[in-house]
């Protein structure tokens, strides 16, 4: 069989049922082989969209996503998505075509050194220069993408290898290593910290969901009556109904969450990396707390703060071995603070303007937290994190580390492909939506029932907010008042749509959107002056956050 046929057969052995991509000259042999393959290909309208769709599939399933692209511009168009997957630890295998080996190094048509370009933004990159190395390289790519801390792997394959004859040995599905149990002495030290703590706090990151350790985390929190906060990527891991769950912490964290971190005497970082958006001014973050750090990646231990005890390993194995109940007084204090700082949606009502937090809170209630919500980046992303709750981390897809505008719609496409029977909603800002708007054609082509909620304040809202608060209201290039009418734009793609601008329209419009059988776009006009609260100003401790002005 040809190299192209062998690749598709290999993907089938790995359980891959769908790939996302865009054809071109160097990858054409693979597309020819697809005609005879059971693997479904989803033609996206931009390679970045294809890679984001693969990320959406991977993140909503905790499995490897696959995308393909041709050489040159096809490969370079993937790079932003590759970086996004690297920073958010997404298992992704990216297959790019390359010019034929005899033409390499000659500045041939559409020749780019994608291997070199990808080195710093992938977990691993490789180039296949011999047909006998093709399948071993793919095996290695799948292994590396899943092993330990997940991440994207790029495999660059010259066109002549795709056309050459290769043998296909007997293969088994690639499995990552089984992580050994944690050191017993470290477990004992961790339990000693827990026993001594009077004000412990669980700080939950995205690593919990990636480790599929949600049941173990929830048992750990419940058994020990632990107040809990979450990062953006950790949302959905802790039970949102737990009386001591406080929501997201950090720059736009909820007040009760940020204040609890500043008061705790033991911070238990679970699959979290203490990134700058969480800590604020680092030397004033959790100033009274010892740090117990649990993670799979040794590079994260002691990176930004020295841990008092650090345990490397599988969270599924570690968490059941830890015990140390929080004191009743601390739990009572946390519960009181949570009640005092709870968001009052009724008081937030505005007779003239649709209030995004209220709308998103209502949407969360209507979907019973089971919908998969894919976010773009900006103010709406933070409103989703603050005001929607999720049954599981795989229900909340958001570009965290890279903060990539244009992520929401294509990631929702990948999630919908992976979960044809689930409700999938893309929450987009007007600025972000325009960055991959071409993927409306992908929705139409495949009839994917993704629901798109475009929150339109005719601004680059987050940049505008910073210009307002920290740059003396000197607004520069954040006015998007020349946006198209998004509902009519969707209708041009034969996608049902409507536009609303008044609070009284919200409930019926949301009901129509959710009830519609196919793709649907709901264009919501917002007040351009609305901001995200609270906010932690630059170089400021989290307890000095600015809460919503009265």
Verify whether residue 159 is a known catalytic residue.
yes
Instruction: Kindly give the interhelix angle for 255-263 and 328-340, rounded to the nearest 10 degrees.
Output: 150
DSSP class per residue in 343-379: --TTTT--SSSB-HHHHHHHHHHHTTT-SEEEE-SSH
Are the CB atoms for 383 and 360 separated by under 8 Å?
A: yes
Burial class (CB in 10 A: 0-12, 13-18, 19+), 181: exposed
Where does 166-254 have alpha helices with state H? 184-196, 207-210, 214-223
* Distance in angstroms (rounded) separating the CA atoms of residues 443 and 289: 49
Nearest to 83 by CA among 111, 123, 46: 123
Question: What is the tally of helices (H) and strands (E) in the chain?
Answer: 23, 18
Q: Which of 462, 486, 499, 545 is catalytic?
A: 462
Phi and psi at 117, nearest 5°, equal -65, -30
Where does 204-352 have alpha helices with state H? 207-210, 214-223, 255-263, 276-279, 315-318, 328-340
Verify whether residue 486 is a known catalytic residue.
no
The residue length of the chain stands at: 550
Q: Which of 1, 109, 132, 470 is catalytic?
A: 109
Verify whether residue 146 is a known catalytic residue.
no
Are the CB atoms for 340 and 367 separated by under 8 Å?
A: no
Strands (E), 23-91: 40-43, 65-69
Are the CB atoms for 413 and 444 separated by under 8 Å?
A: no
Nearest to 152 by CA among 100, 113, 208, 114: 114
Verify whether residue 462 is a known catalytic residue.
yes
Sign of CA dihedral 67, 69, 75, 81: negative
3-state secondary structure of 307: coil
Q: Which of 126, 127, 146, 159 is catalytic?
A: 159
Nearest to 532 by CA among 468, 458, 454, 480: 468
Catalytic residue IDs: 47, 109-110, 159, 462
């Amino acid at each position: 069989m040809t190299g192209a046929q062998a690749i598709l057969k290999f993907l089938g052995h790995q359980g891959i049922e769908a790939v996302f991509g865009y054809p071109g000259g160097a990858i054409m042999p693979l597309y020819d082989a697809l005609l005879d393959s059971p693997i479904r290909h989803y033609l996206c309208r931009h390679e970045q969209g294809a890679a984001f769709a693969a990320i959406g599939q991977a993140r909503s399933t905790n499995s490897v996503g696959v995308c393909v692209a041709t050489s040159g511009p096809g490969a370079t168009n993937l790079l932003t998505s590759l970086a996004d997957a690297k920073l958010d630890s997404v298992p992704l295998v990216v297959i790019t075509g390359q010019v034929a080996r005899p033409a390499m190094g000659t500045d041939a048509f559409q020749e780019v050194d994608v291997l070199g370009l990808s080195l710093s933004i992938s977990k691993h990159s490789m180039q296949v220069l011999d047909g006998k190395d093709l399948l071993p390289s793919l095996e290695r790519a799948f292994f590396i993408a899943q092993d330990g801390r997940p991440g994207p792997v790029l495999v660059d394959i010259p066109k002549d290898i795709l056309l050459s004859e290769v043998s296909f040995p007997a293969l088994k599905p690639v499995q990552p290593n089984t992580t050994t149990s944690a050191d017993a002495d470290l477990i004992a030290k961790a339990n000693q910290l827990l026993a001594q703590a009077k004000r412990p706090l669980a700080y939950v990151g995205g690593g919990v969901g990636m480790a599929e350790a949600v049941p173990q985390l929830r048992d750990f929190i419940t058994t020990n009556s632990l107040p809990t906060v979450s990062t953006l990527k950790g949302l959905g891991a802790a039970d949102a109904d737990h009386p001591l769950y406080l929501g997201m912490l950090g720059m736009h964290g909820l007040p009760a969450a940020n204040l609890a971190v500043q008061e705790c005497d033991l911070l238990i970082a679970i699959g979290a990396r203490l990134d700058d958006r969480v800590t604020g001014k680092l030397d004033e973050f959790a100033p009274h707390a010892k740090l117990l750090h649990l993670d799979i990646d040794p590079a994260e231990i002691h990176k930004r703060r020295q841990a008092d005890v650090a345990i490397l390993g599988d969270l599924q194995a570690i968490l059941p071995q830890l015990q140390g109940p929080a004191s009743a007084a601390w739990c009572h204090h946390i519960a009181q603070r949570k009640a005092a700082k709870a968001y009052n949606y009724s008081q937030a009502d505005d007779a003239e303007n649709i209030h995004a937090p209220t709308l998103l809170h209502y949407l969360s209630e209507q979907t019973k937290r089971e919908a998969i919500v894919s976010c773009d980046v900006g103010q709406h992303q933070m409103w989703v994190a603050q005001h929607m709750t999720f049954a599981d981390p795989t229900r909340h897809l958001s570009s965290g580390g890279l903060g990539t505008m244009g992520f929401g719609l294509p990631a929702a496409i990948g999630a919908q492909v992976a979960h044809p029977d689930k409700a999938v909603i893309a929450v987009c800002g007007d600025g972000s939506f325009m960055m991959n708007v071409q993927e409306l054609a992908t929705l139409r082509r495949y009839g994917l029932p993704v629901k798109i909620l475009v929150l339109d304040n005719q601004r680059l809202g987050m940049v505008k907010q910073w210009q307002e608060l920290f740059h003396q209201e000197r607004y520069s290039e954040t006015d998007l008042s020349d946006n198209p009418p998004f509902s009519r734009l969707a209708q041009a793609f034969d996608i049902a749509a409507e536009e609303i601008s008044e609070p009284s329209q919200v409930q019926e419009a949301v009901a129509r959107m959710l009830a519609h059988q196919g793709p649907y776009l709901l264009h919501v006009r917002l007040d351009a002056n609305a901001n995200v609260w609270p906010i932690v100003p630059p170089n400021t401790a989290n307890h000095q956050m600015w809460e919503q002005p009265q």
